[in-house]
Amino acid sequence: MNRTFTNDPLWISLVEQFREACVLRRNGRLEESEQLLQTEIPNKIAAWSKQAVPVGIDRRNALETMFQDEQRRVEEAFFVQKLVTTQIEEQLLPKLCFMIAEELRDVVRSEARPGRGGFDDGFMRRMTQSPARPRVQFDEPALDNEPHLQAA
């Protein structure tokens, strides 16, 4: 950001809106980006242009520099996001899945020990019992072809 305008709320707002327009465009939200670029940002630029600036400051150059800096910043952020996403998908998620699978295996093994009254006994008990009465019963199809549930 141009250090000359770091305390100017209008400049800061202009920079933030342009950055937002760049992010929206990068995310494929072109309509929203165009709305900012065609109406809101030009209005802010017009208001900012009416403010007094220190001698020797070229407004046009300040705007062009800001536009280039913010576009670069957004592209760099998306590049970093892609790198992080790739790292998560290729390294972190497989490790987490493996750790969770190991924990589940340990739990199933400990519950499946004979005579423990856990997984094995409960499973066998459920297999030998008669099927339970259904909890939900469907009505006959209505003319509007929407299923209706009724508590049994």
Contact call for residues 19 and 74 (beta carbons, < 8 A)? yes
- 2 three-state secondary structure: coil
Which residue spans within the chain are E strands per DSSP?
136-138, 149-151
pLDDT of the chain, 152 residues: tens digit per residue: 556 677 889 999 999 999 999 999 999 999 999 999 999 999 999 999 998 877 788 889 999 999 999 999 999 999 999 999 999 999 999 999 999 999 999 888 888 776 655 555 555 555 555 555 555 555 565 555 554 444 44
Residue 148: the pLDDT is 47
Q: Which helix or strand (DSSP H or E) is residue 144 part of?
A: none
Residue 150: the pLDDT is 47
- Whole-number Å distance between alpha carbons of 135 and 132: 9
